Structure 1
Amino acid sequence: MNANKSTLRGIEVQYINNALPGLPGPLKDKVGVALNATRTWGDMDYIVDGKVLHIDRLLYQRNWMANAAVFYNLPHDGEARTEQLQLG
Protein backbone atom coordinates (compact mmCIF):
# COMPACT_ATOMS: atom_id res chain seq x y z
CA MET A 1 0.00 0.00 0.00
CA ASN A 2 2.86 2.39 0.70
CA ALA A 3 5.11 1.34 -2.20
CA ASN A 4 5.90 4.13 -4.62
CA LYS A 5 8.12 2.38 -7.18
CA SER A 6 10.00 -0.91 -7.50
CA THR A 7 12.41 -2.55 -9.92
CA LEU A 8 13.24 -6.25 -10.21
CA ARG A 9 15.96 -7.74 -12.39
CA GLY A 10 17.28 -11.27 -12.52
CA ILE A 11 18.88 -14.12 -14.35
CA GLU A 12 18.08 -17.84 -14.31
CA VAL A 13 20.23 -20.75 -15.47
CA GLN A 14 18.72 -24.18 -15.98
CA TYR A 15 20.02 -27.64 -16.94
CA ILE A 16 17.84 -30.66 -17.71
CA ASN A 17 19.00 -34.16 -18.65
CA ASN A 18 16.10 -36.57 -19.19
CA ALA A 19 18.22 -39.74 -19.21
CA LEU A 20 21.54 -39.91 -17.37
CA PRO A 21 23.98 -42.02 -19.40
CA GLY A 22 25.74 -45.10 -18.08
CA LEU A 23 23.17 -46.25 -15.54
CA PRO A 24 22.60 -50.02 -15.29
CA GLY A 25 19.52 -52.23 -15.66
CA PRO A 26 16.15 -50.72 -14.73
CA LEU A 27 17.69 -47.26 -14.34
CA LYS A 28 18.96 -47.15 -17.93
CA ASP A 29 17.27 -44.29 -19.85
CA LYS A 30 14.85 -43.77 -16.93
CA VAL A 31 16.62 -41.44 -14.46
CA GLY A 32 17.05 -37.74 -15.15
CA VAL A 33 17.97 -34.53 -13.36
CA ALA A 34 16.83 -30.92 -13.49
CA LEU A 35 18.87 -28.13 -11.89
CA ASN A 36 18.32 -24.39 -11.83
CA ALA A 37 19.62 -21.31 -10.09
CA THR A 38 18.16 -17.82 -10.04
CA ARG A 39 19.77 -14.54 -8.95
CA THR A 40 17.59 -11.46 -8.49
CA TRP A 41 18.31 -7.81 -7.80
CA GLY A 42 15.74 -5.27 -6.83
CA ASP A 43 15.05 -1.97 -5.19
CA MET A 44 11.96 -0.23 -3.93
CA ASP A 45 10.84 3.21 -2.85
CA TYR A 46 8.40 3.43 0.05
CA ILE A 47 6.44 6.37 1.36
CA VAL A 48 6.99 6.64 5.11
CA ASP A 49 5.46 9.62 6.93
CA GLY A 50 5.20 11.45 3.61
CA LYS A 51 8.90 10.94 2.78
CA VAL A 52 10.46 8.57 0.25
CA LEU A 53 12.55 5.76 1.76
CA HIS A 54 14.74 3.93 -0.78
CA ILE A 55 15.63 0.28 -0.05
CA ASP A 56 18.12 -1.57 -2.26
CA ARG A 57 16.17 -4.84 -2.10
CA LEU A 58 12.61 -6.05 -2.38
CA LEU A 59 10.89 -7.18 0.79
CA TYR A 60 10.30 -10.92 1.03
CA GLN A 61 12.37 -11.64 -2.11
CA ARG A 62 15.49 -13.82 -1.96
CA ASN A 63 18.69 -12.82 -3.72
CA TRP A 64 19.45 -16.44 -4.64
CA MET A 65 17.22 -19.46 -5.25
CA ALA A 66 18.27 -22.91 -6.42
CA ASN A 67 16.39 -26.09 -7.15
CA ALA A 68 17.53 -29.65 -7.85
CA ALA A 69 15.32 -32.56 -8.87
CA VAL A 70 15.98 -36.21 -9.65
CA PHE A 71 13.23 -38.04 -11.48
CA TYR A 72 12.40 -41.53 -12.71
CA ASN A 73 10.35 -41.97 -15.88
CA LEU A 74 7.35 -44.27 -15.35
CA PRO A 75 5.27 -46.01 -18.01
CA HIS A 76 2.51 -44.05 -19.81
CA ASP A 77 4.32 -40.67 -19.47
CA GLY A 78 4.38 -40.85 -15.66
CA GLU A 79 7.18 -39.57 -13.47
CA ALA A 80 8.32 -39.97 -9.87
CA ARG A 81 10.27 -36.94 -8.67
CA THR A 82 12.16 -35.75 -5.63
CA GLU A 83 13.15 -32.09 -5.31
CA GLN A 84 15.24 -29.89 -3.06
CA LEU A 85 14.78 -26.11 -2.98
CA GLN A 86 17.50 -23.94 -1.50
CA LEU A 87 16.89 -20.31 -0.68
CA GLY A 88 19.64 -17.92 0.20
Structure 2
Amino acid sequence: MVLLPTAARHLRAPPLIPAVQAVLIGAGAALGLSLYLLAAQRQMLAVVVVLASLYPVLPVVLGIGVLHERVERRRAIGLVGTAVATVLLAVG
Protein backbone atom coordinates (compact mmCIF):
# COMPACT_ATOMS: atom_id res chain seq x y z
CA MET A 1 0.00 0.00 0.00
CA VAL A 2 2.87 2.35 0.71
CA LEU A 3 4.35 1.90 -2.75
CA LEU A 4 1.04 2.23 -4.62
CA PRO A 5 1.20 6.04 -5.13
CA THR A 6 4.78 5.75 -6.38
CA ALA A 7 3.87 2.95 -8.79
CA ALA A 8 0.82 4.85 -10.02
CA ARG A 9 3.02 7.78 -11.10
CA HIS A 10 4.99 5.51 -13.43
CA LEU A 11 1.97 4.00 -15.12
CA ARG A 12 1.23 5.20 -18.61
CA ALA A 13 -1.61 4.56 -20.97
CA PRO A 14 -0.77 1.70 -23.34
CA PRO A 15 -0.01 2.62 -26.94
CA LEU A 16 -2.96 2.45 -29.30
CA ILE A 17 -1.71 -0.43 -31.44
CA PRO A 18 -1.42 -3.02 -28.61
CA ALA A 19 -4.83 -1.87 -27.32
CA VAL A 20 -6.36 -2.48 -30.75
CA GLN A 21 -4.63 -5.86 -30.92
CA ALA A 22 -6.03 -6.77 -27.50
CA VAL A 23 -9.55 -5.85 -28.59
CA LEU A 24 -9.22 -7.91 -31.77
CA ILE A 25 -7.87 -10.90 -29.85
CA GLY A 26 -10.73 -10.64 -27.37
CA ALA A 27 -13.28 -10.40 -30.16
CA GLY A 28 -11.74 -13.44 -31.86
CA ALA A 29 -11.88 -15.43 -28.64
CA ALA A 30 -15.52 -14.46 -28.09
CA LEU A 31 -16.38 -15.45 -31.65
CA GLY A 32 -14.61 -18.78 -31.26
CA LEU A 33 -16.41 -19.58 -28.02
CA SER A 34 -19.76 -18.56 -29.53
CA LEU A 35 -19.22 -20.79 -32.55
CA TYR A 36 -18.15 -23.68 -30.30
CA LEU A 37 -21.38 -23.27 -28.31
CA LEU A 38 -23.40 -23.20 -31.53
CA ALA A 39 -21.72 -26.39 -32.71
CA ALA A 40 -22.41 -28.06 -29.37
CA GLN A 41 -26.08 -27.14 -29.64
CA ARG A 42 -26.28 -28.54 -33.16
CA GLN A 43 -24.58 -31.82 -32.17
CA MET A 44 -21.51 -31.21 -34.38
CA LEU A 45 -18.92 -31.76 -31.64
CA ALA A 46 -17.19 -34.60 -33.46
CA VAL A 47 -16.14 -32.20 -36.20
CA VAL A 48 -15.43 -29.25 -33.89
CA VAL A 49 -13.19 -31.19 -31.51
CA VAL A 50 -11.06 -32.48 -34.38
CA LEU A 51 -10.75 -29.02 -35.90
CA ALA A 52 -9.97 -27.44 -32.53
CA SER A 53 -7.18 -29.95 -32.02
CA LEU A 54 -5.44 -28.49 -35.06
CA TYR A 55 -4.39 -25.38 -33.12
CA PRO A 56 -0.64 -26.24 -33.44
CA VAL A 57 -0.95 -25.69 -37.19
CA LEU A 58 -1.52 -21.94 -36.76
CA PRO A 59 1.94 -21.09 -35.36
CA VAL A 60 3.56 -23.18 -38.08
CA VAL A 61 1.64 -21.37 -40.82
CA LEU A 62 2.38 -17.99 -39.21
CA GLY A 63 6.07 -18.90 -38.96
CA ILE A 64 6.13 -19.74 -42.64
CA GLY A 65 4.15 -16.69 -43.73
CA VAL A 66 5.44 -14.00 -41.39
CA LEU A 67 8.93 -15.13 -40.40
CA HIS A 68 9.72 -16.84 -43.72
CA GLU A 69 10.83 -20.04 -42.01
CA ARG A 70 11.97 -22.91 -44.16
CA VAL A 71 9.55 -25.78 -44.58
CA GLU A 72 11.02 -29.24 -44.25
CA ARG A 73 9.60 -32.06 -46.30
CA ARG A 74 8.06 -33.80 -43.26
CA ARG A 75 6.40 -30.59 -42.12
CA ALA A 76 5.05 -29.89 -45.62
CA ILE A 77 3.59 -33.40 -45.81
CA GLY A 78 1.96 -32.89 -42.41
CA LEU A 79 0.48 -29.55 -43.43
CA VAL A 80 -0.91 -30.96 -46.66
CA GLY A 81 -2.36 -33.95 -44.83
CA THR A 82 -3.95 -31.65 -42.28
CA ALA A 83 -5.47 -29.48 -45.01
CA VAL A 84 -6.87 -32.52 -46.80
CA ALA A 85 -8.33 -33.93 -43.57
CA THR A 86 -9.92 -30.57 -42.73
CA VAL A 87 -11.56 -30.36 -46.14
CA LEU A 88 -12.82 -33.95 -45.86
CA LEU A 89 -14.30 -33.19 -42.44
CA ALA A 90 -15.96 -30.03 -43.68
CA VAL A 91 -17.47 -31.75 -46.73
CA GLY A 92 -18.99 -34.44 -44.67
Q: Which TM-score applies when normalising by structure 2? A: 0.19
TM-score by length of 1: 0.20
Higher strand share: 1
Q: Greater relative contact order: 1 or 2 (C-alpha under 8 angstroms, separation 6 or more)?
A: 1
Greater share of residues in helix: 2
